[in-house]
Amino acid sequence: MDNENNNDRWVFDGKYFVKVKRCLLCGLPSHTDKLCENCQYALFQIRELKDCLTEALREGKMPPDWALKAAEKITETLADYPYFLAYKKVISEIVWYYIIDDESLYNGIEIEEVTELEYTHRSRDQILRDLYELEIIDISLDRRIFPGKMLKSLLDLKKIYGDNFASFNWKSYTLAIQAIFMLGIVEKLLEKHIKENTPLPRIPLVTFKILSAVIQKYKDKTDELDRINEFRLLDIELQALISILGSKVSKNRFYINITGIKDSNAKLIEDFDEKEKEFIIHKDLNNYIKRMIERIRDVERERKR
């Protein structure tokens, strides 16, 4: 047996066994490629949003409003995802050192000094490599940690412009950094699953698949897009996507999280229309959805040429 993630399955259709192509990510039937259209859009969104935030921070600029609002809702939705915890703690500790001690900014921090790296069960080298690849940290040849391009923009706010921890800029930059590492790691985990069949990050995937479904639903409504002020998704459409979470407990937890019932902070969903049996997507995601639809149209037009 080879290790390749084979996406052909034999399915009994009531009479014969037929070969059906299944999406390598969500496992649903795929007519397009190795990935279904919905999962392709999910990956597209992850890369677009990550690139937009990264580009802004690299140039020391505030990311655009649509990206920040979406980043906030998405990071809130994924905040409890255990995989991110170690990264978040390590980044926070490093930022703290740079802020309280100028010396550490110029001479770097010894890897052994970062206590959160000692206390995590994740691979220390993997965390450092991921943060390095996402330009959050830099590592010198003598293995000391320096701020990467992303952290530099954040630290400049404090060190050069004197912003305080409660300022709008500080909050936005911190948020952008959190979103960048979450998106970067989700992207990697999904790519790894496609290539090597490693465990699938189901909750992050479903989060983006929900947004993909909205994009697919509204993508062809060309002239109306500007005028839409509420994006909706049928209850049954959402249920179908959430089915990849498996157990009823996981599904309910997800609903309770994205609607904000658990912490009074609505995330992906801001309301449920009982009459129409439709979920209303949080309005902070409206411009993000419009933006993604425009980008997808651009790419598809380009491809047709």
CA distance linking residue 90 with residue 104, whole number of Å: 15
User: Does 36 participate in binding Zn ion (rule CB under 5 A)?
Assistant: yes
CA distance 86 to 118: 10
Residues in contact with 162: Cβ distance below 8 Å, sequence separation at least 6, in sequence order: none
Q: Which is nearer to Zn ion, 25 or 175 (CB)?
A: 25
Which one of 17-25, 54-62, 115-123, 228-236 is the stretch in contact with Zn ion (CB under 5 A)? 17-25
By CB under 5 A, which span of 16-24, 48-56, 219-227, 257-265 interacts with Zn ion?
16-24
Structure token digits, residue 184: 């970067």
> What track of x and - describes contact with Zn ion for positions 104 through 143 (by CB under 5 A)?
----------------------------------------
Is-contact 231 216, C-beta < 8 A?
no
Structure-token pair, residue 54? 């990264």
Cβ atoms of residues 272 and 282 within 8 Å: no
Contact between 25 and Zn ion by CB under 5 A: the answer reads yes
Binding residues with Zn ion: total (CB under 5 A)? 5
Backbone angles phi, psi at 178, to 5 degrees: -60, -45
Interacting positions 57-76 with Zn ion (CB under 5 A):
none
Residue 99, C-beta contacts closer than 8 angstroms, at least 6 positions apart: 155, 158
Q: What's the rounded Cα separation, in Å, for the pair 303 and 305?
A: 6
Give the shortest CB-209-to-Zn ion separation in angstroms: 7
Q: Which is nearer to Zn ion, 75 or 212 (CB)?
A: 212
**48 near 292, Cβ under 8 Å?**
yes
Q: Is 39 in the site for Zn ion (CB under 5 A)?
A: yes
Q: Closest distance between Zn ion and the C-beta of residue 259, in Å? A: 24
Toward Zn ion, which CB reaches closer, 7 or 287? 7
304 exposure class (CB count in 10 Å sphere: 0-12, 13-18, 19+): exposed
Distance separating alpha carbons of residues 77 and 265, to the nearest angstrom: 10
In terms of CB distance, is 23 or 175 closer to Zn ion? 23
Of the candidates 63, 97, 72, 84, the residue with the CA atom closest to the CA atom of residue 130? 84
State which residue, 41 or 84, has the beta carbon closest to Zn ion. Answer: 41
Residue with Cβ nearer Zn ion (240 or 256): 240
Neighbours of 124 (CB within 10 A): 15
Q: Smallest gap, in angstroms, from Cβ of residue 239 to Zn ion? A: 16
Q: Which is nearer to Zn ion, 27 or 260 (CB)?
A: 27
What are the distances in angstroms from CA 34 to CA 6, 21, 104, 195, 220? 9, 8, 47, 11, 23
Q: Which of 2, 12, 26, 230 binds Zn ion (CB under 5 A)?
A: 26
The binder of Zn ion chosen from 2, 14, 23, 216 (CB under 5 A): 23
Q: Which stretch binds Zn ion (CB under 5 A): 11-19, 28-36, 171-179, 218-226?
A: 28-36
Part in contact with Zn ion (CB under 5 A); list of ranges 26-34, 54-62, 114-122, 251-259: 26-34
DSSP 8-state class, residue 22: B
Nearer to Zn ion, 38 or 178 (CB): 38
In the complex, minimum distance from the CB of residue 36 to Zn ion, in angstroms, rounded to a whole number: 3
Per CB under 5 A, residues contacting Zn ion are 23, 25-26, 36, 39
